[in-house]
Structure 1
Amino acid sequence: MKKIVCFSGGHSSALAAIETARKYGTDGMVILNHDISPHVEHEDIKRFKKEVAAYLGLPITYANMPGWETTPPLDVAIKNKAFKAYNRPAFCTSRLKTEPFHKWLEGNGERGDWVIYGFDAEEAGRMMRRSDVMNALGYKAVFPLADWDRTIYSTEEIGIARPSTYQTYKHANCIGCLKAGKQHWYCVYCLRPDIWEEAKAAEEQIGYSIIKGAYLKELEPQFREMRDTLRIVPTDKTNSARFWKRVRETMPEEQLEIPCDCSF
């Protein structure tokens, strides 16, 4: 029986991998990752993946879409002439991750293998959906962070700093996530103007918006005022309701936490 850890490069999936190795050892354990174009996956996420794998003494097994190095999510969307199909996952997820994952399982997995995820107890809905999908394919979905006694809560405990993207974002996803909302895209506007411009061009070419109900070009005046006048810190970690409440209140500049200019 193989223990296949879905290792996204994020902190939670790393902890799930460590818990699995500590509980069952590394024999038959696979750290499975989908590498993403360095244009949108921060170099420090790639550093983190390598350090976690080195700690476990295992290689990273990659299940990648052909041409992944030069095909970021926006290019996937443009190729498919849409960001997502009706009531379906975003094309970037299905093409860059889901399809290569299923192809890898077909060639390397066996019925009864464990597929391990870094979901925690607060993600009951996600766990239920993953369990249903994996059971239908003959695999068992396993959730160490939710169901096992924990031995580790932070990779810093073993001397591995989590990706620097966590200083701004609450995840280690692509910068310019096509499933994210307005708050994430404000961060992109401030911190990655190159991706912002690419996303605007993609919206124009596809003829549909990334964020439901608003094209990015329509948000630019508001975002410019938030950045230049209100000095709203670009962060995806603050609770969304609190973040937008702060914007609406138009707090005086001296009462805001103003980052140094190098943050922009």
Structure 2
Amino acid sequence: MSKNNYKVVWLSAGISSFIAGYLVKDTVDEWIYIDVKDQHPDSMRFVHDCEKILGEKVTILRSQEYEDVEDVCRKTGFISTPYGAPCTGVLKKKVRKNWEQEFYKREGHMNLCYVWGFDEKESKRADNMRLNFPEFTHEFPLIDKGLKKEDAHALSISLGLKRPIMYDLGFPNNNCIGCVKAGMYTWNLVRKNFPEVFEKRAKMERDLGHSCMNGLFLDELDPNAGRRGEVIPECSIFCFMAEQELNGEQPIFQVVKTA
């Protein structure tokens, strides 16, 4: 690795981001995980297990402005927008940007190289990432090796890495419990496994007058609705960046002033 570059793996507490980083681990300068209170507690167990396998410490970052997803939604008055979910923007993207600012203050002469967990099926997204964020160097080890998400999970098993429990509960990604981008099937999994979270999100929807699912409120959701295998984005930094590829760097929300 050139001394003019600093390579970072942004862990999402998902399998793909870890395996992508593991494939190039000998050239990685720092591993970073952005913790959000709404993620299952097992996510932190997973991060610490990653540390054991790597023999490296993972830097843990958290928002200093907002407590959790509901705090963001209530203070901004939004649940989701065409330009992304405000919770992802401030709990993850803004935390990353703050880290970058501090990094450049210390190491202004160095370039940042980011390692992402896009898999073999996401080559177009990787191309768009390079095109829309040229200020960074980007690496996509899974794509370079022609690996799919299923391959990444198989590799994690061979390393003895126990995947986050959300996968075992049937969730397609290890997102926050009650991710505001989820579809009907996933919301019914939340209702089954985390009923208290389901009720809190349903109340929040009514209080704000906005729904998570394009006008369908959670308290109206048929318990049998949805289908297994529905597409739900992995709610990580690169998920938010990908949304901005399509919509430009426009504001995703305005803060609603409250008394």
Calculate the aligned-residue CA RMSD, in Å.
2.3
Give the equivalent residue in structure 1 for 2:35. 35
Q: Count how many residue pairs are aligned between Structure 1 and Structure 2.
A: 218
Distance in 1 between the 2:164 and 2:216 partners? 30
Contact 2:15–2:163 (Cα < 8 Å) also in 1: yes
Q: Match of 1:215, as an amino acid?
A: F
Match of 1:148 among 120, 145, 148: 145
Identity of counterpart residues, as a percentage?
26
Q: Paired residue for 1:139?
A: 136
The answer to whether the aligner puts 1:161 opposite 2:162 as a matched pair is: yes
Aligned match of 2:58 = 60
Report which of the two has the higher share of helix: 1
1:15 corresponds in structure 2 to 19
1:94: how far off?
0.2
Letter of the structure 1 residue corresponding to residue 198 of structure 2 = W
| Secondary structure of 1:2's aligned partner | strand
Give the structure, 1 or 2, with the largest relative contact order (CA under 8 Å, sep 6 or more).
Answer: 2
Cα distance between partner residues in 1 of 2:138 and 2:215: 36
* 1:13 to 1:130, Cα distance in 2 relative to 1, 3 A: same
SS at match of 2:120: coil
Say which one has the larger Rg.
Answer: 1
1:113, CA displacement in angstroms?
Answer: 2.2
**One-letter amino acid matched to 2:32:** L
Q: Name 1:249's counterpart in structure 2.
A: none
TM-score by structure 2 length?
0.77
User: Quick one: distance in 2 between partners of 1:49 and 1:66?
Assistant: 21
The residue that corresponds to 2:212 in the other structure is: 210
TM-score by length of 1: 0.76
Deviation of residue 74 (structure 1)?
2.1
1:178 matched to 2:177? The reply is no
Give, in whole Å, the separation in 1 of the partners of 2:24 and 2:74: 38
Note the C-alpha offset of 1:102: 1.3
1:122 matches 2:121: yes
* CA distance, structure 2, for counterparts of residue 117 and residue 146 of structure 1: 10
Which residue of 2 is the match for residue 92 of structure 1? 87
Q: State whether structure 2 residue 105 is matched by structure 1 residue 103.
A: no
The alpha carbon displacement at 1:54 in A equals 2.0
Change (3 A) 1:125 1:76: farther
For residues 199 and 239 of structure 1, the distance between their equivalents in structure 2, rounded to whole angstroms, comes to: 22
Give deviations 1:10-51, integer Å, cap 9, x for gaps. 000110111111xxx15x5211111111xx311222111111
**Which shows bigger deviation, 203-212 or 140-149?**
140-149
Deviates more, 1:126-135 or 1:90-99: 126-135
Unpaired runs of 5+ residues, structure 2, are: 232-259
**Cα contact 2:123–2:143 (8 A) shared by 1:** no
Cα 1:181–1:62 change in 2 (3 A) is: same
